[in-house]
Amino acid sequence: MSSSSPLLPKQDAREAALFFVVSALCFLAALAGLCARSAYAAADKWTDRVTGEITVRVRGDDAAAARAAMIVSSVPGMQEAHALSREQAEDLLKPWLGAGGVPADLPLPHLIAAEAAPGASGVADSVAKALKAADIDATVDDHVVFSADVARATDSAGLVALAAVALLGATAIAVIAFATHSALLARRDIVEVLHLTGARDGFISSLFERRFMMLGVEAGTSGALLAFAAAAFILFVVKQSDQKIWLLPQLSLSLADGLILGLTPLVAGIAAMLAARVTVLRSLSEML
């Protein structure tokens, strides 16, 4: 014989139900985390693409556009500038009007695509001043408004997702605290005997902490695996539809996504352990 039996009885039906609830919460939290990350990643991607790009719309004839292109390219801090041909301008309209959808007699604005040198600042203002000095009627757009809108939208989406993660996490902690309290009540006889045989509060608490930490880790792993499966399914759907589903989150299952999924069981385990510790110590403090 040996004292190998755990001092707390093995898990019962209540803990199986708790495992299911915590798994579901971890699944939703991990998925929300993946969505938050993808929102920020998409924002970075979109804003990176337009950062430094300047578009100049020239009102006037071809000669004015050519002169404007020369002026723009000579502005300090400008890396490259060229006037777009009519074909290039039509290409920009293709996503909306389709190939060949632009009537030949439709007047298109004269556009100059320019790119400022990396790190150069205030180039758009210099371009606007130079064009005004040359008496060319033009509008300069450095996409700041677009970038700000994108950043605002993705920041909001990211914050909502992070709030969902926080809410789900808090719910999981509350559920575990409630379950710990129930477990403590159900095993009050055991706790009292341990208490009266000289067990310190930390010793009794550690029994529940270990139990609920393992439950958190296992439920977190299960939730993370389900979230991985859901993300993989979304990726599969996106790929099958030739990446034209714009409304679906742009999930990638990158290293950062792996980190979120990997951290889910760890965070769930630690949260469960802390919830159990606080609950048990608070309950024990009511005993002499």
Partner 1 sequence: MRERDDSLDEPAVRFDRISLSYGPETDVLSDVSMSLAPGSMTFLTGPSGAGKSTLLKLAYLALRPTAGRVSLFGVDTGRLKRPGLANLRRRIGVVFQEFRLLDHLTAYENAALPLRVAGDHERRYRDDVVELLRWVGLGDRMDAKPATLSGGEKQRVAIARAVVVKPDLIIADEPTGSVDDDMGDRLMRLFRELNKRLNTTLLIATHDLAMVRKSNADVLRLADGMVVRQPAMAMPEAGAGSETQ
Stretch that binds partner 1, among 71-79, 137-145, 187-195, 270-278 (CB under 8 A): 187-195
Nearest residue (CB) to partner 1, 55 versus 206: 206
Distance between CA 66 and CA 80 in Å, rounded? 14
196 binds partner 1 per the rule CB under 8 A: yes
Q: Hey, which residues does 58 pair with through a beta bridge?
A: 110, 138
The CA-based angle 49-53-55, given to 5 degrees, is 130
Residue among 135, 197, 240, 286 that touches partner 1 (CB under 8 A): 197
Indicate which single residue of 104, 145, 244, 285 sits in contact with partner 1 (rule: CB under 8 A): 285
Per CB under 8 A, 225 contacts partner 1: no
The answer to the question of residue 13 lying near partner 1 (CB under 8 A) is: no
Residues 6+ apart with CB under 8 A from 223: 22, 23, 24, 25, 26, 27, 28, 29, 30, 264, 265, 268
* Nearest distance in Å: CB 278, partner 1: 16
Question: Could you say which of 193, 229, 232, 237 contacts partner 1 (CB under 8 A)?
Answer: 193
Q: Choose one: 32-40, 61-69, 103-111, 192-200; the region binding partner 1 (CB under 8 A).
A: 192-200
Q: How far is the CB of 27 from partner 1 (least distance, A)?
A: 32
Among 198, 242, 246, 255, binds partner 1 (CB under 8 A): 198
Single residue of 7, 167, 248, 266 touching partner 1 by CB under 8 A: 7
Give the footprint of partner 1 on this chain (CB under 8 A): 1-3, 5, 7, 9-10, 189-190, 192-201, 203, 285, 288
